[in-house]
Structure 1
Amino acid sequence: MNFKNFSLITITLVMIMVLSFSAAAQEKLVVNTYTSDPAPRKAMKELVAKYEEMNPDVDVQLNITAHEDFKQAIRIWLTSDNPPDVFSWFAGNRAAYFVEKGLVMDISDVWKEENFYEKFPKAFKSISVFNDKAYFLPHNYYWWSVFYRESIFKEYGLKEPQTWEELLEVGETLKANGITPFAIGTKFRWTAAAWFDYLNLRINGADFHKDLMAGKIPFTDERVAEVFKKWKYLIENDFFVENAAAYSWQEGLRFLSNGDAAMYLMGQFILDATSEEVSKDLNFFRFPILDKSVPVAEDLPTDGFMVPAKAPHPELAKDFIAFLGSVEGQRLFAEDLGRLVTNKNMPAEVYDKLTLKGREMIDNTDKLAQFYDRDMDPELADKTMNSLMAFWYSPEDYRNIMKEMEAHRQNFIND
């Protein structure tokens, strides 16, 4: 045999062996997520690439599924004998469901080793820890608050209200000058649900709210009546734009944009839905306090990650979870997507002025809820949100509406 050809064959065989050995030496980590929109998809891919760069002996298989399809598939994956090692999910009640079913792994050791109890704002413990064990890794979130036009407040000498009484005073001043206090569009019912959330959180507190959302407390409880009474006052005293059900939340935004309304209870994403001119004129304040003895809670829809109980590579999964909770594991979502992330050590300069104000508000929050239809069973949420819309049209009928909501709860319990 020609020596040159023999050498080439030998070298080729050696390279194949080396590559095969290298591939065999790599550990595989399977991660399933619902980050299917273009920007989050790109950020998630780059996040995985960063982890692989830091851990060259790990090959991450990232599977991205459309949001609604993911929510159906995850229950199948978690009960199968071959689940992913890590999956993205929602905090709070939806995470608690998998905990109660024994489908996810206790990651308290990661929380302790990485000191996430100190690195994350204290309120995140309330949506991640169940029965004193951590099961959820909160990663990124957006905040809710009352957004308002600074120019309108300045024109009428108004200050950000901190109490219910101050909010009512602001509203009366605005109405006296021909401006509707609140913009809203309830064509899609969740905007109305936000008002129920916040009034209940302020009057009865986060623990009561979570139990109510979980179906553990009757909707006919007198404490729920107090929520409707406060809300009824606002509706009957023209604190909201007329014919709200005719508008989507974006269409309702036009009242804020053109100055016909001054405030809007909405999530952070409102900043992306307005013109640049209006966005620069927007500021926000925490939903006012109704009872100083009630711990301050906020609606804070939070996305994060969990580890299946049957994860094929549990130690590797926990290492990836530790990475996701680090500054490096969250930087891309903060810088590229403009998301607020949970690690308090993320440099402040990553955020713009308003987002930084949002982070500071959450740093000084006691407890968290997710949102009406995230904290409640989807079918029960759907039916009771119809009841909330009935209340919007007939606030004086709130007692019968409470009974209707309770009937839905009873059906949910019996099913």
Structure 2
Amino acid sequence: MNILKTTALVALMGSIAIPAMAEQRVLKLFTDASDPAPKAAFEQLVKGFEAENPDVKVEVNTFDHEGYKTAIRNFLTADSPDLANWYAGNRMAPFVNAGQFTDVSDVWEENGLKDSLGSALKSMTIDGKQWGVPYTYYQWGIYYNKDVYKKAGVEVPKTWDEFISNCKKFQEMGVDCLTTGTKALWPAAGIFDYLDLRTNGYDFHMKLTSGEIPWTDDRVKAVFAEWKKVLPYTTKNVAAIDWQDAVSNIVQGKAANYVMGNFAVATFKDGGMTNDTLGFMDFPTINPDIPRAEEAPTDTIHIPAGAKNKADAKKFLAYVAKADVQTKMNEELGQLPINKNSSVGDDPYLQAGFKILSTADGGIAQFFDRDAPAQMAKAGMEGFQEFMAYPDHLDAILERLEKVRQRVYKN
């Protein structure tokens, strides 16, 4: 009789347990985190979320980086996942405008993200609504040779006028004030972006890259006027060298300054530079009345409009936005958390970047070839490269870019 009772009890418990297990909900996440560091970061992220939400199972589908650019356009219109990673600013705008991303303003409001993720708020906002959550970015700015600065007897400049004044001192030493390598085009875009952000501000820059402002506008010409001031002190024939070649100019003391992203630090150090010889500064002020905006390509996570489990997807976004989660994730990525309450390690360049980006009240631009459509970006960067070699071609360059703008944005 006791055996029968025990058997019945086990059967009863089994009948209770089976439905409980069946209640575990599935959350589908599509990413392009195929490289080792991003892959490890996402694995850690998913593991942490599942530990806090044992009733949710996250199924991850990882695409290679280039293939994902095509895949996202397909799966957003067909069988959507619940979550997909992408990029901020004008890169997310087409999906927002096509109704393919979900408004997640409630996640921002309920979790105080307008404060904690405030530096990225503008780049995540369209029509007054937020359309995803950012989880990592990295700074651009000016990397410089500290020894060259000491030999020239100059201080790190705060304004563009001070920067140009320093250039004259470097020239007297036979050192280029500014170096870059534009063989691959994109490094010149970093210079243009910062000059525009400092001359006209974030909102103007976003309107320009989204096709709302003519390239022949006087305010655009003002950007090139500022750029022209530094050209006599810039490395010659930059179109013939790659960005890594320009790093050598800084390493060898042939040049003082380089507008570049933080990923280049490893290359500087491979060349023999140390924290004692490699400095980093924010791009100098041009118009002090313009709120300070920065250049920081930002990776994001979104909820597709066709997601089947939006409730858990919003929980996931709230989790990704947490300070401690972003700290751990970016330790794996070697980049910067967006949450201002996160922390970074003892790397001085990451510390400087975190401070600069977390306090940027003017907005975060993504980079010219992210903020502008591919055709416009290519034409623009070709124009920047030509201007650096032939500044007297400016009017023709701008006329050409204006024709491209009218063609690219006509729809």
Selected match of 2:106 from 106, 109, 113: 109
CA distance in 1, matches of 2:83, 2:227: 42
Selected match of 2:391 from 384, 390, 395: 395
189-198 vs 338-347, greater mean Cα deviation: 338-347
Which residue does the alignment assign to 2:285?
289
Task: Compute the displacement of 1:413 (Å).
Answer: 2.6
CA distance in 2, matches of 1:303, 1:125: 13
**Structure 1 residue 360 and structure 2 residue 355: aligned?**
yes
Task: Compute the displacement of 1:389 (Å).
Answer: 2.0
What is the root-mean-square deviation in Å for CA atoms of aligned residues? 2.1
Selected match of 1:318 from 314, 333, 341: 314
Selected match of 2:96 from 79, 99, 110: 99
Q: Using structure 2 for the length normalisation, give the TM-score.
A: 0.93
Selected match of 1:138 from 134, 139, 153: 134
Q: Using structure 1 for the length normalisation, give the TM-score.
A: 0.92
Uncovered stretches (5+) of structure 2, i.e. residues with no partner: none
322-331 vs 273-282, greater mean Cα deviation: 273-282
List per-residue Cα deviations over 1:182-201 (Å, max 9, x = no partner): 12111110101111111111
Which residue does the alignment assign to 1:158?
154
Amino acid at match of 2:205: H
List per-residue Cα deviations over 1:118-162 (Å, max 9, x = no partner): 212x33111012222111211110011111111221222221111
Task: Compute the displacement of 1:18 (Å).
Answer: 7.7
**Structure 1 residue 414 and structure 2 residue 410: aligned?**
yes
**Structure 1 residue 252 and structure 2 residue 246: aligned?**
yes
244-253 vs 386-395, greater mean Cα deviation: 386-395
List per-residue Cα deviations over 1:359-392 (Å, max 9, x = no partner): 1112221222111011001122112222222222
**Structure 1 residue 31 and structure 2 residue 29: aligned?**
yes
CA contact (8 A) 2:202 2:293 kept: yes
Which residue does the alignment assign to 1:344?
340
Partner of 1:414, secondary structure, is coil
Task: Compute the displacement of 1:311 (Å).
Answer: 0.9
**Structure 1 residue 267 and structure 2 residue 261: aligned?**
yes
Partner of 2:383, secondary structure, is helix
40-49 vs 268-277, greater mean Cα deviation: 268-277
CA contact (8 A) 1:92 1:375 kept: yes
333-342 vs 311-320, greater mean Cα deviation: 333-342
**Structure 1 residue 187 and structure 2 residue 183: aligned?**
yes
CA distance in 1, matches of 2:16, 2:383: 66
CA distance in 2, matches of 1:66, 1:157: 49
**Aligned residue pairs: how many?**
404
CA distance in 1, matches of 2:189, 2:24: 48
Give aligned-pair identity as a percent: 35
Uncovered stretches (5+) of structure 1, i.e. residues with no partner: none
Selected match of 1:231 from 227, 230, 233: 227
